[in-house]
Amino acid sequence: MAPKKKRAANSSRPVSVVTGAAGFLGSHLTDLLLARGHRVIGIDNFVTGSVRNIDHLGGNANFKFIQQDVTEFIFLHDAVDFVWHFASPASPIDYLEIPIQTLKVGSLGTHKALGLAKNKGARFLIASTSEIYGDPLVHPQTEEYWGNVSTIGPRGCYDESKRFAEALTMAYHREHKIATRIVRIFNTYGPRMRVNDGRVVPAFISQALKNKPITVFGDGKQTRSFCYYADLIEGIYRLMMSDYNLPVNIGNPCEMTMLQFAEEIIKATGSKSRIVHRPLPQDDPKQRKPDIAKAKALLKWEPQVPLAQGLVKTIEYFRGKV
């Protein structure tokens, strides 16, 4: 492993590189790191991220931004302590519109981010996903479950890129002795989500705020569990600071059907929307619920924000967007 570049004598702050720093989760992670005394170098090419998510950081002496595609070589003069690889499209619309870019950021982007960590002697975390479990045959999903994924379906570009990213991360850990962390993120919601990204939370909220019919796919009995972004980012931070190198689920195990969730959104927004049904998309998972026993035991972490409370802040954000 290459030796770390020495930090300037007058700087005692750890340095974090966040790829995908202008995205929904990457921008919230950046805020948390800055609040906890890190210098942050954010990298994003704005394919799915937005400058609006980080414009409040303009003029912050501890934040530097680089507009770059992370599938290209990442060159930094700075010393680096942590690399947080969050760059990736993460919605069904993206998978259909930019499948090759999705595959490239999960493979080539992960390779470049790991190369940076290796060069700097930094600790590395990959933001993986519950989608590596596919349409699961076990419920709830534990980290030991290998998944039920279609390599050739419309979601395969995302699912398989993340599975490859996990494998590459473990290869760098084993061969180059890099300190690596793998977080499997389950459904997360909150301010800064893209209104039209195709995921259920922004879709239902935007439809409800416009009093338009809320579109539920299939019979609505498929389940999801929703974690507020602040809980998720706290869990991810604790994982990076731990000494555990195998995958850890971070999410909220409070499961509900899509019909129940649609009704929650209607109630929370005071909407006059009615629920309509549409055909179930191909390879859409029937169930999704994390087993978070590892996170509880290793990180002393579990979600704190109830759905009703998180929805208030999320709906307030979307009122200004729709």
State the catalytic residues. Answer: 158
* Angle at which helices 258-269 and 200-209 cross, to 10°: 40
The string of DSSP letters for 104-132 reads: HIIIIIHHHHHHHHHHHT-EEEEEEEGGG
Cα angle: 261, vertex 185, 221; to 5 degrees:
30
User: At a CB cut-off of 8 Å and minimum separation 6, what does 262 contact?
Assistant: 204, 214, 216, 220, 275
Give me the residues paired with residue 17 across strands: 41, 83
> What's the token pair of residue 74?
């990442």
- Give the type of residue at 244: Y
Distance CA 94, CA 86 (A): 15
* Residue the block writes with tokens 């704190």: 304
Q: Of all residues in the chain, what percent are helix, strand and coil, respectively (each to 5)?
A: 40, 20, 45
The string of DSSP letters for 150-194 reads: -SSSTTHHHHHHHHHHHHHHHHHHHHH---EEEEEE--EE-TT--
Q: How many other C-beta atoms lie within 10 A of the C-beta of residue 256?
A: 16
Task: Let me know: does 216 contact 276? Beta carbons within 8 Å.
Answer: yes
* Residue the block writes with tokens 């309509």: 276
* Residue the block writes with tokens 């966040």: 18
Distance CA 213, CA 210 (A): 9
Distance CA 112, CA 107 (A): 9
